[in-house]
A and B are shown apart, each in its own frame.
Chain A
């Protein structure tokens, strides 16, 4: 079975499309061209005005306008809520349009095009001449009487307000380098991935878009990974989005109270901790890629790197900005205690490898970063640690560093290794320079960079690891790893190489400047859930690193 759809396109099947975002906004503009003429479609989610007027809880607004000649447009809305497990038929509501209602949820379809019922789908056609405009509004409400958004002039106002809001928001971007367009697009994408009510940022808005077509590498990414916290906060702060960074940090400190002092790998946008994975066996999957999963069992894993991520996020957000409140300080200090107790244990690593736990070098590095960050916050006066804790954190930090340098670095291969006493590498080791554990110019770091590129590099891209993880199918190159490499080059001062590599990475974005989690080496196509916050975070941080190297 297939999921639902909402299509609006020319009836003539031989049409071509070009699309773009309206400059510095999240409003999508698509041009359809046929032999008889062309039309332009705007897709947007109108910005909420904060309760100043009656607006629907959520709305998708589509406005289509004839540009030249005449084009016959066909619309088809096939709604299948609850992952197509519910059958819902639309009900005609006179001049109010059509409604789909299930449970305490209602979706109102309001349009100035004539729609009719075909099976369970709403369909319609309209012929547009140059200058003619039609609107389609999908308004969703839960638990309240629905609000039916007006069309025409009022729809135009919502479009104009939304474009204005995004442009003003994008105008706050502090990055002024040559890659501003890509950086703004990444920042807008991160904003779109933010749950407005809590400040939580999801890894991606989709589930089960495959990392290998037709294989089992299909996961649900509609959750917030603490793994992404440190780098995401740095990216938001570096581009001037302090409010978003602090909201994210605030959500993180709040959500993690349920599991504190231990941290869970991931939470949902509400901070819920039980995210049990299940398979939707009735769905065909993208390009036949089954299973389609909801929930993610990675939440049960142990990943020691997340302690460092949360502390790095706090350090970045607080740098030079005074003291933490007592509760937050107590929470962060508690994380240090857990690190001291657990850093000698094995885990599943940043890559969430399913199967036996191992002693991953990068996990140890992030444990080091957690203690180092807490001691720096103490030195800066942002929090106060007891003398006993200062002594314990300092002692354990030194012990971790010793373990990394003695057992994490393999002299035989001349590189840090993926696991202690191992002989393989993984791309997370590049982050050792990005987070400040090691100078990017350090001989050990340079050698690791070279080794990673020899073992994991293809076509200027990087796979994330060289180990077979037991799951069917070969995944693509990992988008963010390429940006970590650029960060290393920039921190070494190799500006030309960093810029060349950055431009190479930009070529792998889709026509809208968006990235998935992975990139297919052969075709350059995006793989995995889409768009991926982590990849866009990598792009921003790499662009900022280049700019700092240039300064």
Chain B
């Protein structure tokens, strides 16, 4: 048994125990925090499986943003769960056990984990992404190259989905709401969490700087627009948690955010339209610099990563703002 196997087995074991604890926890705050732990351990597992870019995103999104999202949801609803009636447990358990058995049976046909002769590794596209990309794009991080250039249409679609989800949340939550409990919010804002406040204020510039670094360095190391966007948003969410919505809105008002949500998608689609105007196909970055196509690719990739980052950061922050607004009386 190698160190890799041992580390993987330990992480998977922790994940199993955590997942079971999540389903059993009646106090939903416990379930939400365990969900954060689950994501953090998953991020470590992704590092072990060589997926550094994914690990980055999972750590920022799973352990950061979605945990905060669930906790805010609990603050606005009810944090205790009713006991699950037996008539629901037995059929659901049966379905889960049968489905697991079916999947395990089907997995016997899969190549083993890490098999160098598996169809994934021998498919012609593997060579294109790992070797030809170095002549076409000169982008060492192939994940960024594939995401922004080879599969640029796909990524545009994903950004539009995020944009749509953001609009959906804003429409659901910005409407009229029932009167909230004012005293509770005020008590929270007046509380003196001195250490937390000083630490988060000191961290703030570093978080934003790091997000910029991740955005601009995504072509050479792990990083890119999605990661940078969620790190930006995590910074602003942290600030909102510590200092309240009024303070953070002085820097980044909701109105600006709503505009930025659309600006990112427009930058991305605009790059596509620009390449068409220059005589190429939609999102064919070679057109930016026909004499030096890989230079044009570099410029195009950077531009659309900025677009992705803007939309992702704005959607995540706007969603959190609208959740918080729901509970605070203006």
**Do A and B come together as binding partners?**
no
